[in-house]
Chains A and B, each alone.
Chain A
Amino acid sequence: MILEVEGVVKRFGGLVAVNNVSFGVKEGEIFGIIGPNGAGKTTLFNVITGFYKPDSGKIRFLGRDITGMKPNKLAKLGLTRTWQIVKPFLGMSVLDNVLVSIYATKGVISGLNEEEAIKKAEEILEFVGLLHRKEALAEALPHGERKRLEIARALATEPKLLMLDEPAGGLTPAEMDEVMEVVRKVRESGVTVVIIEHNMRVIMNVCERIMVLNFGRKIAEGSPEEISRNEEVIKAYLGERFHVRS
């Protein structure tokens, strides 16, 4: 297991956003987390990636306890996330966006020399299909390309585990396919991937195992087929009434 989550609880005042969730991610797989709006997916993501501290529970990455560790430390260890609402460094060039990751993780003074750093950034941009845009300001990119830049920037930290928060959100079907193609290529290069997604087509296509959250609790875990047949999941997604009638 590359990532082990044990009994994580996160409360906001009286609301229990994540309630005693446990799961594990195997090395080399694409693991999906789904659930209706407000199920606690993004909160769980924020807890794992160090943006929130859990109220209780343990998180281990590569066998090491990382509970409450700062996001920048996690990125250096090899656990990097992307954002559902993309956060490109708008006023900087596409190349500089990726270079920041390299400087930040490899070191500003030591680390790669400038030519090596630029070469590496260009390879990553090539990988996600953005090399032809490297001189452009990030603010000039359309949404689909921003999503790919988001992934490029995360890849430049050389993650062992990449956590993608709705990588296909707000994309046209064609753009979605491009992003999913990138995600598959990422996995093939040996990176483990965890995806939060709303789009069932994406998740069913690309994930090997899926966990379903509802009201902060884990209600199911299994292969895409198992999940699509699971009664609880159908209830959560389509509602009790629909379930009874069908």
Chain B
Amino acid sequence: MLGITKDVVTEIGKYYLIALILLIPIPLAGDYVTHVTILVMLYAVTAASLDILVGYTGRLSLGHAAFFAVGAYTSTLLAMNWGVSPWIGIFLGGLMASVFGLILGVPSLKLRGPYLAISTLGFGVIVWLMLINLDWLTRGPLGIPGIPPLPGIGPIDFRSKVAFYYVALAFTLVSIFLLHLLTKSRVGKILMSIREDEDAALSVGVDVPLFKVYAFLISTFFAGISGGLYAHYLRYISPEISTLGESIYILSMTIIGGFGTLIGPVMGAAVLSLLQELLRSYLEYRYLIYGMLIILVMKFFPSGIYGIVQFILRKVRE
């Protein structure tokens, strides 16, 4: 299906099995480590989803936090106003994020380079302003406290960090695995052809606008689901999750991790989140640091942390 052969599934699948085995014992390290790992995983999916746009389709987005926020608010409002189960609400939040992806993706089809960057940036700011100003719906800058947790299954209570950890782990591995398969599929190769040269892709029969829209739909869907999980985990959200700074934070993970590699952004999410934990007392300077890191990576290691890790592995093997 879609050019994904059994070989590809087993070849990639084994890495996810290893990751699963390594990540299962994390809660033994205590609540704090579990908490940080949960956030890393949610950011990892968001950064990997952004990579489908930035790294694979060549469409820079400076507003990805908006889709994360749309997913978070959709699921929250559905649960609190209409009693929709968060298990369904999170999925609907992903779909709503895709609708917003469509709203941004279709008009920006013909834009390239800085123009696209500005329009995505503007879109992110619009969503942020909406969340602040539609206070009858979103309570504005106060945010929404008391979001219901994921409903328990039998004796399992997802208010516990450990229980939630395994939900997040399953979600993360499945999402990144699906995105990984996508990049190896026919769709992935067509997206890459658009990244490499839109006109050449058109001339060999690629429906470029259609596949750009697909990329937007898929990318924003996963960002939205991550947002939903985030909301039901922390049980408090505010427009702060959709700021330009947040979008740039996610983009930094994608770029510093190594865009166009999918696994790079996952590494980027881990490294930047740890950095953030270590530099808690210098939080105001963090964008300065991310900015410098992005410039350094783009200049000296365009393939990011992923490229550095591969380079080291190669040296070790020799």
Q: Within the complex, which residue of A75, A91, A97 is in contact with B203, where a contact is CB–CB below 8 Å?
A: A75
In the assembled complex, the Cα of A71 lies from the Cα of B5 at a distance in Å of 30
**Once bound together, how far apart are the Cα atoms of A99 and B201, in whole Å?**
12
Contact with B along A95-123 (1 / 0, CB 8 A): 01101110111001100001001000000
Taking the closest CB of chain B, its distance from the CB of A160, in whole angstroms, is: 13
Contact A101 B205 (CB under 8 A): yes
Task: Please give, as numbers and ranges, the residues of chain B lying within 8 Å of A109 by CB-CB distance.
Answer: 1-2
Q: Which residue of A lies closest to B196 (CB)?
A: A89
Q: Which of A149-157, A189-197, A210-218, A219-227 contacts its partner?
A: A149-157
Is there a chain B Cβ closer than 8 Å to A72's Cβ?
A: yes
Contact A75 B196 (CB under 8 A): no
| B contact residues around A83 at 8 Å (CB) | 199-200, 203
Which of A82, A83, A91, A100 counts the most chain B CB atoms within 10 A? A100
Q: How far is the CA of A156 from the CA of B193 in the complex (A)?
A: 15
Beta-carbon contact of A157 and B204 below 8 Å: yes
Q: Does A1 contact B (CB under 8 A)?
A: no
Contact with A along B1-34 (1 / 0, CB 8 A): 1110100000000000000000000000000000
The SS class assigned to the B binding surface is: helix
Instruction: Establish whether residues A70 and B203, one from each chain, have CB atoms under 8 Å apart when the complex forms.
Output: no
Nearest CB in chain B: distance from A58 CB, A:
22
1/0 contact string of B198-215 vs chain A (CB within 8 Å): 011111111110000000
Determine if B2 and A89 form an interchain contact, defined as CB atoms under 8 angstroms apart: no
Residue of B nearest to A71 (CB): B202
Chain A residues in 8 Å Cβ range of B208: 72
Q: Is A136 on the interface with B (CB-CB < 8 A)?
A: no
Q: Which of A49, A91, A157 contacts B196 (CB 8 A)?
A: A91
How distant is the Cα of A103 from the Cα of B190 in the complex, in angstroms? 8
- Whether B193 lies near A89 (C-beta < 8 A) is yes
Complex CA gap A2/B186 in Å reads 32
- Per the bound structure, the CA–CA distance linking A109 and B208 in Å amounts to 16
B205 contacts A88, CB within 8 Å? Answer: no
Does B69 interact with chain A (Cβ within 8 Å)? Answer: no
Given contacts A72-B207, A72-B208, A108-B2, contact A96 B199 (CB under 8 A): no
Asked if B159 lies at the interface with its beta carbon under 8 angstroms from chain A, I say no
Q: Which residues of chain B come closer than 8 Å to A103, judged between CB atoms?
A: 3, 186, 189-190
**B121 at the binding interface (Cβ < 8 Å):** no
Asked if A100 and B193 make an inter-chain contact with CB atoms under 8 angstroms apart, the answer reads yes
Residues 72 to 112 of chain B near chain A (Cβ within 8 Å): none
Interface size on B, residues (CB 8 A): 24
B235 to chain A minimum Cβ distance, whole angstroms, is 41
Q: Within 8 Å of chain B (Cβ to Cβ): is A51?
A: yes
Instruction: Name the CB-closest residue of B to A150.
Output: B200
Contact (A108, B196) CB under 8 Å given A72-B206, A101-B204: no
B39 at the A interface (CB under 8 A): no
Interface string of A116-160 (1 = CB under 8 A from B): 010000000000000000000000000000000000011011000
Which residues of chain B have C-beta atoms less than 8 A from A88's C-beta? 196-197, 200
CB of B59, distance to nearest CB on chain A (Å): 15
| A contact residues around B187 at 8 Å (CB) | 108
CB pair B204–A154 under 8 Å, yes or no, is: yes
Instruction: Check: B179 CB closer than 8 A to any chain A CB.
Output: no
A80 located at the interface, meaning its Cβ lies under 8 Å from any Cβ of chain B in the complex = yes
Q: What mask results when residues 64 to 101 of chain A are scored 1 for a CB within 8 Å of chain B, else 0?
A: 00000011100110001111000111111000110111
Which residues of A sit under 8 angstroms from B204, Cβ to Cβ?
75, 80, 100-101, 104-105, 153-154, 156-157
Residues in B neighbouring A70, C-beta threshold 8 A: 202
* Complexed CA–CA distance, A97 and B190 (Å): 9
Q: Write the nearest CB–CB distance from A73 to chain B, whole angstroms.
A: 8
* Interface residue? B192 (CB, 8 A): yes
A92 touches which of B3, B193, B202 (Cβ 8 Å):
B193
| Given A101-B204, A104-B207, A105-B205, 16 additional A-B pairs, CB 8 A | A49-B203, A70-B202, A72-B208, A75-B204, A80-B205, A83-B200, A87-B196, A92-B192, A92-B193, A100-B204, A101-B205, A103-B190, A104-B204, A108-B3, A108-B186, A108-B187
Interface residues of B (CB under 8 A from A): 1-3, 5, 186-187, 189-190, 192-193, 195-197, 199-208, 260
A-B contact pairs, 26 of them (CB 8 A): A70-B202, A71-B203, A72-B203, A75-B202, A80-B204, A83-B199, A83-B200, A83-B203, A87-B199, A88-B196, A89-B193, A89-B197, A91-B192, A91-B196, A92-B196, A96-B189, A100-B201, A101-B205, A103-B190, A105-B204, A108-B187, A108-B190, A114-B5, A153-B200, A154-B204, A156-B204
